Structure 1
Amino acid sequence: MSRTRSVASTTPAVHRRTVLAAAGAAAVSAGVGYALRPTDSQAATTTGAAEAPVAQTVHKAAVPVEVPLAPYTRGTTVASVATPRTSSGYRRLGDGAGWSRKVRAELAAPKSGRAGRRTSLAAFVQFTDLHLMDSQHPMRLEYLRSTDVHAWRPQEALTVPGAISLVERVNALRGGPVTGAPLQFAMTTGDNTDNNSRHELDWFLTVMSGGRITPNSGDPRHYEGVQNSGLKQYWQPDSTTRDQDKQLGFPHLRGYLAAAIREVNSPGLTIPWYSTVGNHDSLPLGCYGHGDSWLAEYAVGGKKLMSLPASESKKLQDMIRKASDPQGHHFRDLLKAHARNMRSVTPDERRAPYTARDYLTAHLDPAYRGVGPVGHGYSTANLDAGTQYYSFRIADDVVGISLDTTDPGGHYQGSIGTKQLRWLDRTLRENKDSFVVVFSHHTSDSMDNLRRDPAHPDERRYGGQDVVALLASHSNVLAWVNGHIHRNVIKAHSAPDGRSFWEISTASHIDFPHLARVIELADNKDGTISIFTTLVESAAPHRTDFADLSQTGLAALYRELAYNAPGSSNKLGGASGDRNTELVLKKG
């Protein structure tokens, strides 16, 4: 195939090709957030043979510019990483040594002199698993902490200021850390919200596009949740109560809860951003299907269960893990059985669950446009067809494809249906003269939920290995970028005929180490492509000050609390080959 142009070309070019976009179209471990571990678009509807209507989205290619290849490290984890500066108890964080860049050559041998030859193809940022969370929501499963200490995390009230600080970091980056190319867009790869509630969706869209947010629900004046419940299994920051976490060294912070629900301001990203849907964006609690009216009423009502015996907590958690209650009927019955043990909270209609259509409509709302594009990848054609997948032009030689890997039938693991798999194959074929980057929420290994979609019971579901096989059959696929597992993992995929691509999975922004990833594509002009991955933390300082409850102070505290969260894993950052890398592969 001919691939001679790049965004670093000195000769401007006008892209005139059309890109097919989606026409058709939601936690345990990393999947359930609680416990287990660039430009405007215009859509028109056409009809393909034996297919659902497809949206035809036209994106302007990034204007080619001359970009000096000037690597930098400031503001990235190559320069410094938050590291504990005390050795025991509650550990305070400070500046630590950065992570070096590792060259990975499983798919192609790197050739000498490539740094002086290469030209940039694209540069962008991945956010994933923000889990913007109403920590007071009645549906939350905090009480599972009685059987799993990590089922509730002390940092959960600070997801909004933490995400805003991540936006601030990206806005401050000079461009691609390796190539110096301008960052063209950011992509969120799902679990943007946590409880599938309407106000969390508003918070997410405002964090990304800019504006003021009050991360509170229920009583507008007071926090009403487990952290002022007096229950010792949760950190009670404003109280002198000797709770479980204070026994581990967690601080007494008077005024913390008032600060956590105070209005904050997001500048919004200064680059275009796109959105991919995750299971927490699609399903209540990331694991239950829609349809139970009692649970929907409970979500907005005035009662909240805050404690549960360990035996019952384990039974519920096991059912979630095994997907034996995908519609939440047992969960509903458990809540009803414990009605007398619930505490009163202020009802709030904004906590209502949102549907896939609500998700699309909100993205298309002009109030959340920011710097664009309109719909952030989604179009009115997605609304018409009821789909949440699409394609878009990243650069003159690069196309992006966003998949919907959530299963409406329930459970936190993923899959895709026949219609979407065929659309993916067709889109790859129709863009055979462009490189392709695929985005999804789930990883290949976490797409093993083949439960049928209740709305399409006759449609077969396909797992991760089916997607790997399809992607490996197309020589234009460079990378599959995803999240879900809350851990940095980079995997090489190769086919017997030599076709290959990299799967890049990035850690979450709810569990430490709170990372996003910059990804740069470069043509080495020697028959190989290099994909550079560079992790970035939020802009908040590594050191915290317990007296600083400002927006920035809370963002710093968010990171430190997450590091110290009981039961948290110290392996989510991954090995050196999963962090800052140069991934080499043959040019197809």
Structure 2
Amino acid sequence: MSARRLAPVLVLFAACSPPTAGGTDDASSGSEATGTTAPTGTTTTSSGELPDPTTTGTTGDDSTTSTSEPLPEPLAPLEGPVPLTDEVVRVPTHPVDEDKLLDLRLPADVATALAEGYGDVMLAAGEPVLPRTLDDAEPPTPGAAPKLLVRFVHLADTQLADDESPARLASFDEVSGGAFRPQEGHVCRMLNAGVRTINALHVDDPLDFVLLGGDNTDNAQTNELEWFLGILNGAPAVECDSAIDDDPLPGPDNDPKDRFAPVGLDVPWRWVAGNHDVLRQGTFGILDFSEPIGDASVGGTRDYGQPGAPIVKGMVPADPARAFLTEPEQVAWVAGDGDGHGLDAAAVELGRAFYTFDVAGTPLRFFVLNTSSLKGSSQGLIRAVDLEAIIGPTLDQAVADDKWVIVTSHHRSGSLGDGQEFGIGTKYDDALTAVQWQEFLGSYDNVILHLAAHTHRLMVEAMQPAGGHAYWEMVTPSLNDFPSQMRVLEVWDQDNGALTIQARAFDMITDDDPVAEMGRTLAIADFTSGWENDGRGTGPDQRNVALWIAAPE
């Protein structure tokens, strides 16, 4: 969630939301990587246990879903090559309404926006892959035998939301960001469209894996993670609907609250956590507030029992499946699902998503770290205590193992803070600034890239820390917000003493899925109506790029 959008209301909401008894922890207890436990009485399902990972994403209990209906059929695989944005781009045809004449929280204004073409696009010529060097010099000539080391997709900021939860803050959507999105109910289908697209891309040219960018879910809720895992894993059916079994458009599989059969990824995927995965609305520590399983909405949530699913406050239907997940519970659940998605026994013991994995047959090692502050603040947090206990030893080991490192986290360096934002969270005196983090990474000659997300826009920046090693920092946009894109990355050994990191953005393909296409249309309208930033970044050199860097010795 954007801090700018929530800034005017953070203190107000904190004041009107009573904390759970016993729901605070010791602010001076050291590294946030240890010691996180749920308060007494916390539940994660109606039975008090975590859902079984082997049934993740299924349709739920009989109180919310009719299980007598036949299971839906998954959509057929996409045919033909997937066009990347160096071939074709989607351009909104409606100018951005700087005056915000429409408020897309209002169903009538959504209808007006769609009727007036706020969500329309045209296809235009693609943008070339631009070569870039750390010092802006001309790139060297490739050697005789360049070798591809890895090819993967970076899928970031899905923010899959239970948009009917009383823990939402939809009424506070003021300036720019994500307290409310008109497309939020469609994100499950948008994610499934993204998975179909990735699978087709894998057919075009094989992928090694999918790397998440964090903010996979929106509100740290059990049901959100269950839906997310079900979609990526290809569960028999998923229904992104909580409490009452809603059916806005009568009939099966034709609206965002109907159950559907996800296709599931055809390649392995690796977990990365973001602030929305571990914090209430990406900003508030979950131990400081009542759980979202209650029946009172303070900040506004959606009611799909009314036309257009307007925002409502007050009493709403309760659902115990909405219970918050602490990060240790979340890590254990994901680690126990399938191949564990990168999370190993050490991560489970730590209770936080810190781990490494290697690309077989290459010198490449990925280092995944969680930069979220568990006590609050949407900003990233990296503390000196974590450098000493976790991050430094991990990078030292990579040096000893002669590994070239891609560091990946949800937050980029420019999104780091001190643990406190607008009076929310806990301020840490040992929190690293952006410059300190850049200098730390620059002290390791084997770090070639910091890959991040969070800003919901395409970004690439050459990091030139004083007295240190230069490296690249890259950000992938949100699948949720405009332009609803992902990146495919390739690392090449150019056989000339240098590497290239090639990154190209691509759109999800929504063929045969009008629900997913409507979600993308609403995301475009959210942008052109003036309520969302331009996720395409500041120029072509932020989008499709080939980044040169000397191969570590």
TM over 0.5, shorter chain:
yes
Counterpart amino acid of residue 571 in structure 1: D
Report Cα offsets for 1:152-191 as digits up to 9, x if no partner: 221111010001111111111147x8xx5x3111111110
Which deviates the most, 144-153 or 201-210?
144-153
Aligned with 2:393 (options 412, 421, 426): 426
- The equivalent of 1:393 in structure 2 is 358
CA gap 1:447/1:257 in 2 versus in 1, 3 angstroms = farther
DSSP-derived class of the 2:287 partner: coil
Report Cα offsets for 1:271-297 as digits up to 9, x if no partner: 11101110001111111113235x21x
The equivalences for 1:31-180 within 5 A come to 74-85=82-93, 89-107=117-135, 109-111=137-139, 113-114=141-142, 117-145=145-173, 151-174=179-202
Report Cα offsets for 1:190-216 as digits up to 9, x if no partner: 100001110001111112221121010
Structure 1: how far apart are the matches of 2:209 and 2:197?
Answer: 14
- The equivalent of 1:378 in structure 2 is 343
- The equivalent of 2:15 in structure 1 is none
Structure 1: how far apart are the matches of 2:456 and 2:440?
Answer: 25
CA gap 1:206/1:428 in 2 versus in 1, 3 angstroms = same
Counterpart amino acid of residue 524 in structure 2: Y
- The equivalent of 2:325 in structure 1 is 354
The equivalences for 1:191-340 within 5 A come to 191-211=215-235, 212-222=237-247, 259-292=255-288, 295-296=290-291, 299-305=292-298
CA gap 1:29/1:149 in 2 versus in 1, 3 angstroms = closer
CA gap 1:154/1:480 in 2 versus in 1, 3 angstroms = same
- The equivalent of 2:542 in structure 1 is 578
Aligned: 1:554 with 2:524: no
User: What is the TM-score normalised by the length of structure 2?
Assistant: 0.73
- The equivalent of 1:60 in structure 2 is none
Aligned: 1:363 with 2:334: yes
Task: Tell me how far 1:151 sits from its aligned partner.
Answer: 4.3
Structure 2: how far apart are the matches of 1:458 and 1:278?
Answer: 19
Report Cα offsets for 1:104-149 as digits up to 9, x if no partner: 1234745454175321121111111000011111111111246779
Structure 1: how far apart are the matches of 2:489 and 2:177?
Answer: 34
- The equivalent of 1:46 in structure 2 is none
Aligned with 2:411 (options 439, 442, 452): 442
Task: Tell me how far 1:304 sits from its aligned partner.
Answer: 2.6
Any conservation in 1 of the 2:373–2:379 contact (CA below 8 Å)?
yes
- The equivalent of 2:433 in structure 1 is 463
Any conservation in 2 of the 1:413–1:448 contact (CA below 8 Å)?
yes
Aligned: 1:488 with 2:467: no
- The equivalent of 1:507 in structure 2 is 477
Any conservation in 1 of the 2:167–2:299 contact (CA below 8 Å)?
no
Structure 1: how far apart are the matches of 2:242 and 2:414?
Answer: 36
CA gap 1:421/1:346 in 2 versus in 1, 3 angstroms = same
Any conservation in 2 of the 1:283–1:408 contact (CA below 8 Å)?
yes
Any conservation in 2 of the 1:144–1:151 contact (CA below 8 Å)?
yes
Counterpart amino acid of residue 317 in structure 2: T
Any conservation in 2 of the 1:30–1:485 contact (CA below 8 Å)?
no
Aligned residues: 446
Structure 2: how far apart are the matches of 1:150 and 1:459?
Answer: 29
Aligned: 1:412 with 2:381: no
DSSP-derived class of the 1:408 partner: coil
Counterpart amino acid of residue 301 in structure 1: G
Task: Tell me how far 1:496 sits from its aligned partner.
Answer: 4.8
Structure 2: how far apart are the matches of 1:30 and 1:196?
Answer: 21
- The equivalent of 2:2 in structure 1 is 28
DSSP-derived class of the 1:583 partner: strand
Structure 1: how far apart are the matches of 2:143 and 2:94?
Answer: 40
Any conservation in 2 of the 1:84–1:93 contact (CA below 8 Å)?
yes
What residue ranges of structure 1 are gaps of 5+ in the alignment? 1-26, 37-49, 54-71, 224-237, 239-253, 309-340, 542-549
Any conservation in 2 of the 1:123–1:183 contact (CA below 8 Å)?
yes
CA gap 1:306/1:417 in 2 versus in 1, 3 angstroms = closer
Task: Tell me how far 1:390 sits from its aligned partner.
Answer: 0.8
- The equivalent of 1:535 in structure 2 is 505
Task: Tell me how far 1:451 sits from its aligned partner.
Answer: 4.8
Q: Cα RMSD (Å) of the superposition?
A: 3.4
Report Cα offsets for 1:391-415 as digits up to 9, x if no partner: 1112321000001100112110011
- The equivalent of 1:568 in structure 2 is 531
Structure 2: how far apart are the matches of 1:536 and 1:478?
Answer: 23
User: What is the TM-score normalised by the length of structure 1?
Assistant: 0.69
DSSP-derived class of the 1:291 partner: helix
DSSP-derived class of the 1:269 partner: coil
Counterpart amino acid of residue 218 in structure 1: A
- Percent of pairs identical after alignment? 27
CA gap 1:33/1:166 in 2 versus in 1, 3 angstroms = farther
